């Protein structure tokens, strides 16, 4: 059964669409958490958010050690740093379209476990990428589980996880999820243009030779929309396609809106007190957030 046909039995539903302007890393993650809280409390409807980042930002997974980052190199490039509320490895957010899905856990499209909801939401992502002209598939792992955190590599786009999306055998779109107070936040990154391996310029390696080896491996295993299509894809074109993909594959109608005043205020507070705070971004991986 295809991913798209597996969700076709869901009744039509109306979700909110947010097209937020490019924001810095701490504010982007603060907005996602503010939306998660608002949906969990029933103050906001299920939401698809599409956004970008300025300046470029290196995000770390919730439990990823800060020691993976070469802070001197990061600052030299003028890149931000933020720790995500979701798991996974490091991502450099630049020249990309980022999406967030925020919905109550009883919404049929995210019902069940993490992998099951990944599978359903992947149908919308796959359809959107197909609209762009990409030949894509949702990767289903059949090999051994990911290595333990102590031995795993720091770059998210090196290895696809269950139901993340590949093009021409290379990872194209990665996602991560967190569940809190009866609501789900899933967000993910679609690299549009540029060198997929430039993230390595902000990570710590034992030698420059090792850095170059990892760069080569990332280029072999991951790709961008431009590289996969052979043409440049703008943020606006990608956003239209992803919106349409979710609408078609998941039987959704979108009402475009803006952040509410309460959501905006909550996001600004979260940015100051959490996502821009040294205590959060540099905390021990065994600490609590």
Q: What is the pLDDT of residues 81-140, one digit of tens each?
A: 999 999 988 999 999 999 999 999 999 999 988 888 988 999 999 999 999 999 998 866
The neighbouring-strand residues paired with 83 are: 60
Residue 1 lies in a domain: no
Instruction: Give residue 11's pLDDT band: very low, low, confident or very high (50, 70, 90).
Output: confident
Write the pLDDT tens digit of every residue in 177-198.
Answer: 999 999 999 999 999 999 999 9
* CA–CA gap between residue 170 and residue 165 (Å, rounded): 8
Q: What's residue 153's pLDDT?
A: 56
Residue 203 has pLDDT above 60, yes or no: yes
287 occurs within a structural domain: no
User: pLDDT confidence of 45, banded at 50, 70, 90?
Assistant: very high
Range of the domain at 81: 10-281
Residue 205 domain flag: yes
Query: What is the rounded average pLDDT for all residues in the chain?
Result: 89
Give yes or no for residue 23 having a pLDDT over 60: yes
Active site residues: 156
Length of the chain, in residues: 289
Residue 230 has pLDDT above 90, yes or no: yes
What pLDDT score was predicted for residue 161? 54
Neighbours of 193 (CB within 10 A): 16
| Domain membership flag for residue 139 | yes
2 found inside a domain: no
Three-state secondary-structure class, residue 269: helix
Q: What is the C-alpha separation between 176 and 178, in angstroms, rounded?
A: 7
CATH number at residue 25: 3.30.930.10
Please report whether residue 4 resides in a domain.
Answer: no
> What confidence score (pLDDT) does residue 112 get?
87
What pLDDT does 144 receive?
A: 34
Q: Give the chain's domain count.
A: 1
Compute the distance between CA of residue 100 and CA of residue 110 in angstroms, rounded to an integer: 13
Q: Phi and psi of 97, rounded to 5°? A: -105, 130
pLDDT in tens, 237-275: 999 999 999 999 999 999 999 999 999 999 999 999 999
Q: How many CA atoms lie within 13 A of 239 on its CB side?
A: 20
In a domain, 77, yes or no: yes
Smallest Cα–Cα separation from 18: which of 43, 51, 41?
Answer: 51
Please state, in angstroms and rounded to a whole number, the distance separating the CA atoms of residues 172 and 260: 32
C-alpha span between 197 and 157 (Å, rounded): 9
Q: How buried is residue 97: exposed, middle or buried, by Cβ count under 10 Å (0-12/13-18/19+)?
A: buried
Over residues 48-61, the pLDDT tens digits come to 999 999 999 999 99
Rounded CA-CA distance 233/186 in Å is: 23
| 289 domain residue, yes or no | no
């Amino acid at each position: 059964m295809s991913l798209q046909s597996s969700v076709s039995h869901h009744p039509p539903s109306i979700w909110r669409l947010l097209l937020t302007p490019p924001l810095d890393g701490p504010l982007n993650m603060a907005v996602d958490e503010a939306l998660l809280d608002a949906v969990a409390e029933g103050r906001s409807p299920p939401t698809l958010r599409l956004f970008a980042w300025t300046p470029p930002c290196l995000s770390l997974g919730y439990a990823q050690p800060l020691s993976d980052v070469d802070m001197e190199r990061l600052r030299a490039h003028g890149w931000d740093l933020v720790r995500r509320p979701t798991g996974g490895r490091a991502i450099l957010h630049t020249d990309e379209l980022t999406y967030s899905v925020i919905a109550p856990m009883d919404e049929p499209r995210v019902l069940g476990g993490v992998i099951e909801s990944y599978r359903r939401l992947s149908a919308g992502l796959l359809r959107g990428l197909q609209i762009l002209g990409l030949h894509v598939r949702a990767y289903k792992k059949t090999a051994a589980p990911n290595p333990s955190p102590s031995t795993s590599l720091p770059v998210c786009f090196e290895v696809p996880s269950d139901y993340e999306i590949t093009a021409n055998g290379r990872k194209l779109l990665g996602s991560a999820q967190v569940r809190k107070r009866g609501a789900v936040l899933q967000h993910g990154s679609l690299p549009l243009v540029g060198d997929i391996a430039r993230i390595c310029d902000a990570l710590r390696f034992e030698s420059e030779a090792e850095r170059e080896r990892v760069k080569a491996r990332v280029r072999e295993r991951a790709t961008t929309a431009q590289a996969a299509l052979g043409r440049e894809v703008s943020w606006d074109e990608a956003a239209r396609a992803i919106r349409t993909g979710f609408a078609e594959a998941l039987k959704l109608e979108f009402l475009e809106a803006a952040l509410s005043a309460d959501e905006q205020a909550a996001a600004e507070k979260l940015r100051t007190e959490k996502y821009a705070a040294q205590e959060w971004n540099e905390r021990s991986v065994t600490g609590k957030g």
